[in-house]
């Protein structure tokens, strides 16, 4: 399981902006197996590919905005090939589409893109927040509508267990319908207070044992730590999350 732990680089966006290559080197030394990309911070895909090859870090997918998927798909696929990943993830729904009709349009467009790139060996997943639970589409919440596990839906899941918990759902139960439809999963913990803020893995209220056990049995390739806001030094935060993930893996 330890070879499946990756960090979403949005967590370290400020550090990457200052010295992206050195951040990658530090993460490898820390013990991470992979990184999930969220932009290249003014570097070329070739430059970052060289650093990944140098360090041995793997690419656990790429977050790509809906706008880029629509307008720059060929460039995105070229970057993905250079960075040695076939997993693309749309990180959010544009604000103007966060309504019943908008979600229908969004799902249709994502499916069109997913089917197109599937022919070249790529997959397209959707990463959730909590707001998708607030809109109803076809009698269900917008998130379950978008990720419907059916043969005619080409959109895969990248479920973020923190946001599922934030929406009042049980993450371990919520992920079950997405067996072998979730190449990457987002993991972050939640503080045990009124704020229910972002927390390092193993320091909050989310029970990761059943989540990781399910992932091992149901095709999850990467467990990706994303901590949107860190109270301390972000590099220290991701180090603590990795330490605790390793402890959980040893126990399981």
33-43 pLDDT, tens digit each: 999 999 999 99
Instruction: Tell me which of 2.60.40.1930, 3.20.20.150, 3.40.50.1000, 3.40.50.2000 is the CATH number of domain 2-251.
Output: 3.20.20.150
| Predicted pLDDT at 7 | 98
Q: Report residue 215's pLDDT band, with 50, 70 and 90 as the boundaries.
A: very high
162-202 per-position pLDDT tens digit = 999 999 999 999 999 999 999 999 999 999 999 999 999 99
Q: Report residue 45's pLDDT band, with 50, 70 and 90 as the boundaries.
A: very high
Q: What is the mean pLDDT of residues 138-149?
A: 97
Contacts 24+ apart (CB under 8 A), 103-110: 103/132, 103/135, 103/137, 103/142, 103/145, 103/146, 104/137, 106/66, 106/146, 107/145, 107/146, 107/153, 107/155, 109/66, 109/70, 110/66, 110/69, 110/146, 110/154, 110/155
| Predicted pLDDT at 133 | 98
Neighbours of 173 (CB within 10 A): 11
Q: What is the mean pLDDT of residues 84-88?
A: 98
Q: What residue spans define the domains of the chain? A: 2-251
The answer, as to whether pTM is greater than 0.85, is yes
Q: Report residue 114's pLDDT band, with 50, 70 and 90 as the boundaries.
A: very high
| Predicted pLDDT at 194 | 96
Q: What is the mean pLDDT of residues 70-87?
A: 98
d(CA 184, CA 226): 12
Q: What is the mean pLDDT of residues 39-60?
A: 98
Nearby residues of 133 by Cβ (< 8 Å), 6 or more positions away = 141, 142, 143, 167, 168, 169
| Predicted pLDDT at 38 | 97
Q: What is the mean pLDDT of residues 9-27?
A: 98
Mean pLDDT, the chain, integer: 98
| Percent of residues, the chain, with pLDDT higher than 90 | 100
Q: What is the mean pLDDT of residues 52-62?
A: 98
Residue with tokens 């090859």: 53
| Predicted pLDDT at 216 | 98
Q: Report residue 106's pLDDT band, with 50, 70 and 90 as the boundaries.
A: very high
């Amino acid at each position: 399981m330890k070879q499946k732990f990756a960090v979403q680089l949005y967590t370290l966006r400020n550090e990457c902006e200052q010295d992206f290559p050195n951040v990658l080197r530090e993460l490898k030394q820390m013990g991470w197996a992979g990184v999930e990309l969220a932009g290249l911070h003014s570097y070329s895909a070739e430059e970052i590919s060289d650093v990944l090859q140098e360090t041995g870090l793997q690419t656990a997918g790429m977050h790509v905005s809906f706008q880029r998927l629509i307008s720059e798909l060929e460039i995105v696929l070229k970057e993905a090939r250079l960075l040695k990943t076939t997993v693309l993830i749309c990180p959010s729904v544009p604000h103007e589409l966060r309504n019943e009709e908008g979600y229908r349009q969004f799902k249709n467009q994502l499916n069109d893109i997913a089917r197109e790139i599937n022919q070249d060996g790529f997959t397209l997943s959707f990463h959730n927040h909590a707001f998708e639970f607030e809109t109803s589409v076809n009698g269900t919440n917008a998130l379950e509508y978008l990720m419907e596990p059916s043969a005619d839906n080409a959109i895969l899941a990248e479920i973020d267990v923190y946001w599922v918990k934030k929406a009042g759902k049980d993450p371990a139960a919520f992920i079950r319908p997405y067996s072998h439809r979730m190449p990457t999963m987002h993991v972050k913990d939640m503080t045990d207070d009124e704020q229910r803020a972002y927390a390092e893995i193993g320091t909050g209220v989310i029970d990761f044992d059943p989540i990781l056990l399910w992932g091992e049995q149901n095709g999850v390739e990467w467990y990706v730590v994303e901590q949107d806001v860190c109270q301390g030094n972000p590099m220290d935060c991701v180090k603590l999350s990795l330490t605790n993930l390793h402890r959980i893996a040893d126990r399981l």
